[in-house]
């Protein structure tokens, strides 16, 4: 049995056309839902119930894989599997998905915003190719071309549904936010910039997408000999996935293929990275705002 269906109500199988009128779920730090990520109040693979203010780190390689299909596509005999990392009761989720070499799905649109980040392999989406460390943001209601795994090799991706998602074989919705569509963004071609907080001076950042409220998605690299010096209070919700290197967060070695979920107002231990590290990050608040990240001397 699929592990997600045990913890969340099942969506209606009927394709509806009113999904763009859904009111965004407010963020539990006081935001009004403009991030549209639904990162608040999530359960995780190691905590089936939501644990407020308790950060969670775990190695995704230890999680079981389950057969996976995209809701709304009737026939998908392609052997795709997923490891569910976090999920919200409204249907939003973050998963690591393994697409076999024969994976294909037809052109269509989705009933929720979808983000994908390629960890290995390559995927063709319509006329665009997404290779390793490429990112795409597909707003709800935007039709994209057919999907196909390339080069005869399986592809592994982070698959992030920002609400209850179903496939529809329909054209662009008349109210779809097409201006926010990011077909493909190759992170290797982006310049490194500065971070937004004083806690990460010895770090660099690449924006992949900025949400309406200033939160969003980015890569962050911690330089060798990084030392955060103090604990931090994070007044926002965060997900992160390790891409390379290791950062010791307290006694936990947050390394490649490890995942973290930090609910709002979690207090995180001191960060130290001797050899440097690289992470994929999603956050539902503008970190440049005063009070978003607070140094804490305990």
pLDDT for 42-83, tens place per residue? Answer: 999 999 999 999 999 999 999 999 999 999 987 765 789 999
Cα angle vertex 92, ends 199, 237, to 5°?
15
> What φ, ψ does residue 81 adopt, rounded to 5°?
-130, 160
pLDDT of residue 77: 59
> Does residue 130 register a pLDDT over 60?
yes
Q: What confidence score (pLDDT) does residue 23 get?
A: 80
For 173-227, the pLDDT digits (tens) are: 999 999 999 999 999 999 999 998 988 988 999 999 999 999 999 999 999 999 9
User: Which helix (H) or strand (E) element contains residue 245?
Assistant: strand 238-249
Inform me whether the pLDDT recorded for 4 exceeds 50: no
Return the exposure string of 7-45: e unless at least 16 CB atoms fall within 10 Å of the residue's CB, then b: ebeeeeeeeeeebeeeebbebbbebebbbbbbbbbbbbb
Distance, CA of 232 to CA of 270 (rounded, Å): 7
Stretch 30-34: mean pLDDT: 93
Q: Which pLDDT does position 94 carry in this prediction?
A: 98
Going by pLDDT thresholds of 50, 70 and 90, the confidence category of residue 16 is low
Return the CATH number of 65-186, one of 1.20.1440.230, 2.60.120.10, 3.30.565.10, 3.40.640.10. 2.60.120.10
Sequence-ordered list of residues with C-beta below 8 angstroms from that of 14, at least 6 positions apart, any chain? none
Beta bridge partners of 170: none
CATH 3.40.50.300 fits 189-296, yes or no: no
Q: Give the DSSP letter of residue 180.
A: G
pLDDT confidence of residue 76? 66
Q: What is the pLDDT of residue 37?
A: 94
Percentage of the chain modeled with pLDDT above 70: 94
How high is the pLDDT of residue 25?
A: 87
- Whether the predicted pLDDT of 8 surpasses 90: no
CATH 2.60.120.10 domain locations along the chain: 65-186, 189-296
pLDDT digits (tens, 9 = 90+) for 257-293: 999 999 999 999 999 999 999 999 999 999 999 999 9
166, pLDDT greater than 50: yes
- Residues 77-118: pLDDT tens digits? 578 999 999 999 989 999 999 999 999 999 999 999 999 999
With 80 as the cut, is the pLDDT of residue 10 above it? no
Q: What is the pTM of this model?
A: 0.93
Per-residue pLDDT at 177: 95
């Amino acid at each position: 049995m699929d592990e997600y269906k045990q913890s969340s109500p099942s969506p209606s199988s009927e394709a509806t056309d009113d999904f763009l009128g859904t009111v965004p779920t407010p963020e539990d730090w006081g935001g009004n839902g403009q991030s549209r990520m639904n990162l608040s109040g999530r359960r995780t693979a190691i905590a089936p119930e939501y644990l407020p203010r308790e950060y969670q780190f775990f190695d995704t390689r230890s999680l079981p894989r389950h057969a996976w299909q995209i809701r709304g596509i009737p026939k998908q005999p392609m052997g795709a599997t997923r490891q569910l990392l976090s999920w919200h009761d409204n249907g939003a989720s973050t998963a690591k998905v393994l697409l076999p070499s024969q994976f294909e799905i037809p052109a269509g649109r989705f009933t929720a915003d979808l983000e994908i980040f390629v960890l290995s392999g390559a995927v063709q989406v319509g006329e665009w190719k997404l290779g390793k460390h490429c990112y795409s943001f597909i707003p709800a209601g935007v039709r994209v071309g057919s999907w196909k795994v390339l080069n005869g090799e399986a592809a592994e991706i982070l698959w992030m549904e920002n609400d209850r998602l179903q496939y529809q074989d329909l054209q662009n919705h008349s109210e779809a936010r097409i201006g926010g569509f990011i077909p493909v963004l190759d992170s290797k071609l982006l310049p490194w910039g500065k971070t937004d907080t004083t806690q990460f001076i010895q770090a660099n950042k690449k924006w992949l997408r900025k949400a309406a409220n200033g939160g969003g998605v980015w890569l962050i690299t911690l330089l060798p000999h990084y030392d955060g010096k103090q604990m931090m209070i994070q007044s926002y919700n965060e997900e992160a996935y390790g891409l390379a290197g290791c950062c010791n967060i307290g006694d936990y070695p947050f390394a490649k293929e490890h995942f973290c979920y930090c609910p709002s107002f979690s207090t995180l231990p001191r960060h130290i990275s001797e050899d440097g590290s690289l992470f994929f990050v999603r956050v539902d608040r503008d970190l440049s705002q005063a009070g978003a990240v607070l140094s804490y001397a305990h």
